Each structure stands twice: as C-alpha cells, then as structure tokens.
Amino acid sequence: MKSLNQIHIDILREIGNIGVGNAISSLSALLNAEMKMTVPEVKFLEFKEVGTILGGDEVLVFGILVQISGDINGMMMFLVKPESARALINSLMGGDSDDIHNFNEMEQSALQEIGNILCSSYLGALSGFINKTAKPTPPVVALDMATAILSVPAIEFGKMADGVLFIDTVIDTPSCASISGFFLLVPDMDSFNIILTSLGVM
C-alpha cells in the first residue's frame, strides 16, 4: 500500500466513479428520479482506523457485505449509518418515517438491494478496468456497532491483507439532503498484488 502514489489513488477513484455511475443509473430508474453520486475521497487504512472515521467503534452502522471470487478474491462492504439508511429507504419506497432504530424486513431487503447494486457496479468497473474477474455473492445485511461489523473482514482477511481500500461516497437524492456512505474493498494479498500489477504499480 505504501508504494501507491496519488496517481494510482486517482485511478482507483476513477474506477469508483465509473462503477457508482452505473449504480446511480439503476437506482434512478427504481426511484424514477435523478440521483447523483460522487467519490470525494479514497484512502488506504488499517482495519482499526475505519471505526474511528465512522465516528467510533460503538457507532451503529448498516453493513451490506458481499464476498468476491474469481481472479480477485476477498470482500466488499457498503457501510451507511442508520439515519442515512432511513433516508435512502424513504427515497426508494416513498416513505416519510424518521425511525432510525427499527427497520422492518421489507426495508432491510430494500437496503440490501441498494448495497447489492452499488457493490456489483463497483466490482464490474474494477473488473473491466484491470481485465480480471471479480464476481460478488448475494449480499448480507446487518445492523450493529462498527466494531462488530468490521470484525467480519478483519477476522477473515486480517492475516492475509494489511488494510482496506476505503472509499467515501456522497449520494444526492431528490427528496433529502446528501447522504454519506462508505465502501470497503478488502482483497486478499494475492488479489491486491494483481490489482497493483494491473495499475502498473508492481
């Protein structure tokens, strides 16, 4: 990770912009309204640093997780705080609830589908850019403290990878203010080397 310079990070950000552009087109079709998304920041972080950026290890977050297989193996997560999750669900389902503590099965399913669209689109962009396969599994959604959500990739990949690609994301919807979400891309070490080689780093 330390071998990456700003040019490489800019390339990864551009891959993200391409992926989320496809995702926003899909979400806009669901909402029948224009949506916009930007990728203001890309960082490489250790697992322990992610919780701090989210607001602390005990802050509640929704995590939508997909496993990645193919030429690239690992995990990808889309993290969003409950208030942003509620705003996304209200936009998608036409509701006006302000309850950020209780999400019924249908609402969780809607959020799961949003995460699925976002993660699949990002991985599709990455695959096309580096000409390698990165296939996502069906997503799993959970609401828990950041430390518990992040323990899943940390336990499974902490011994094989020394950090995560952290992508800050801002979603503008027609019915609410900007919403912050976060992508975590956690390739295993071999896959990370493949990505770096494809970007001309190694």
Q: Where are the domains of the chain?
A: 6-198
| Predicted confidence (pLDDT) at residue 159 exceeds the cutoff of 60 | no
pLDDT surpassing 70 at residue 202: no
What angle is formed at CA 39 by the lines to CA 153 and CA 201, rounded to 5 degrees? 70
State both tokens at 95.
Answer: 């509701």
How confident is the model at residue 50, as a pLDDT? 81
Helix (H) or strand (E) holding 70: strand 60-70
What CATH superfamily classification does 6-198 receive?
CheC-like (3.40.1550.10)
Residue found by looking up tokens 């949506």 in the block: 35
Mean pLDDT of 20-26: 74
Confidence (pTM):
0.83
What is the distance, to the nearest Å, from the Cα of residue 187 to the centroid of all Cα atoms in its chain?
A: 13
Q: Do the bridges between strand 36-45 and strand 74-80 make them parallel or antiparallel, or are there none, so unpaired? A: unpaired
The pLDDT of residue 71 is 93
pLDDT tens, position by position, 86-133:
888 887 777 778 888 888 888 888 888 888 888 888 888 888 888 999
Residue-wise pLDDT tens digits, 57-66: 788 888 888 9
